[in-house]
């Protein structure tokens, strides 16, 4: 497979497709759900995003734009950078080779 395939990300020697990225991002939001940092109902109210859309993101069914990432961050107690950092950590653990 070509390292420069437009449908894939190249992360730490591993190919990441869009579906995997969406699923892992959703897992990050799901882990945050109910914490003081992220509450889907409050985030939906303050971001103008539909709560059903946020849950679809959590399930990995929907991807988001950079603009939506900042809307989620601004409506929660997290920065966009913190959310991306958590995503990077999850992706790293997802792509680590099994022992």
Domain-embedded: residue 6? no
Give me the residues paired with residue 16 across strands: 9
In a domain, 12, yes or no: no
The reported pLDDT for the residue numbered 96 is 63
Residue 48 structural domain? 17-95
Q: Tell me, yes or no, whether 39 lies in a domain.
A: yes
CATH of the domain at 38: 1.10.260.40
Which backbone phi and psi does 19 adopt, to 5 degrees? -65, -40
pLDDT lower than 70: segments of the chain: 1-13, 95-99
């Amino acid at each position: 497979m070509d390292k420069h395939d437009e449908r894939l990300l190249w992360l730490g020697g591993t190919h990441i497709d869009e579906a995997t990225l969406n699923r892992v991002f959703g897992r990050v939001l799901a882990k945050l759900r109910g914490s003081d940092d992220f509450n889907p109902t409050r985030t939906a109210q303050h971001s103008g995003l539909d709560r059903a859309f946020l849950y679809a993101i959590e399930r990995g069914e929907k991807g988001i734009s950079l603009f939506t990432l900042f809307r989620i961050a601004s409506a929660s107690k997290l920065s966009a950078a913190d959310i991306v950092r958590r995503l990077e950590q999850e992706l790293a653990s997802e792509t680590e080779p099994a022992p």
